[in-house]
Amino acid sequence: MFQDIKARMIEPEVGIIISYAAFDGSPEGVEKIVLQYQSSESLNFYGWVEDGRIVSICGYEVHSGNVEVRSNKVEVHLISVAEDRQRQGVGKAMVDALLRMYGLPIEAETDDGAVEFYRKCGFKTTEFYHHIKGKRYTCFLEAERQGVGKAMVAALLKMHGLPIEAETDDGAVEFYRKCGFKTTEFHHHIKGKRYTCFLEAAAGYSAEELSEAHRSLYSTLKKCEKVLENDKLPQSQRTLTARRVAALKLALKLIEREQAR
């Protein structure tokens, strides 16, 4: 399962996987990456999790809402797989998951060691020279159009659990209707005939989804608490981990409240 694992970046096993993809894979370099991601709201850190074990990681940033359509994309900064799970389709599964989640093109930069992975995933690659890193490649994957828009709407509902509202014209109103939006026609003094589109939030999560989320968060909480027992943990990481622990405890209480309804 592809899920948010930013709270687990401090785990030693995750650090090893990060080191495979980092330009500076030293312990100091990995620590710098962890601090960068944990101190940034715009940087996402997801991973493929199997029975609680993180077998791959993906660090990325989403650029959306730009007037220039070409600027809307998912920019992958890190993608790496545990040594014993490499060449088994895990990396491609993460790429496919990103396409389903955002419906946006994916862009990455890589070197000779990983460019074939991107090509096998369907990326178009362009070679260039970096003044420090040497020969590099930009990798670009177009988003599939079929079903992507509906998948993005479903992802927004699942991520935020809030109603969705939009405004559109005759050219796109059928898309919203097919996604379940209720539409109301009105006249705009400049744009002419327009439609407001409104979609109610989903009723909630199933009992199975809540139980699975509780198990996953509880496991992460215990691991974070274990990390805090390390007297040699740098103060910056200790502070970030303590904040994660507090957030995880709050999330568990909210899930338990929902389960009791």
pLDDT at site 17: 94
Q: To the nearest whole number, what is the mean pLDDT of the chain?
A: 85
Residue 170 CA neighbour count, 13 Å, CB half: 4
pLDDT at site 205: 63
Q: Which of the four pLDDT bands, split at 50, 70 and 90, describes residue 236?
A: confident
pTM over 0.75: no
pLDDT digits (tens, 9 = 90+) for 174-230: 888 888 899 999 998 988 899 999 998 765 666 677 777 888 788 888 888 888 888
Q: Does 260 or 60 have the greater pLDDT score?
A: 60
Give dist(CA 79, CA 83) in Å, integer. Answer: 13
Give dist(CA 200, CA 165) in Å, integer. Answer: 9
Which domains does the chain show, CATH number per domain? 1-145 (3.40.630.30)
The total number of residues written for the chain in this structure? 261
Q: Does 236 or 186 have the greater pLDDT score?
A: 186
Residue 127 has pLDDT above 70, yes or no: yes
104-128 as b/e: b if 16+ CB within 10 A: bbbbbbbeeebbebbeebbbeeeee
pLDDT at site 182: 92
Residue 91 has pLDDT above 70, yes or no: yes
Q: Give the CA-trace dihedral at 225, 230, 231, 236, to 10 degrees.
A: -70
State which of 66-80, 137-151, 191-205 shows the largest mean pLDDT: 191-205
Give which of 141, 19, 12 is closest to 80, Cα–Cα.
19
Residue 145 has pLDDT above 60, yes or no: no
Residues 6+ apart with CB under 8 A from 165: 196, 197, 198, 199
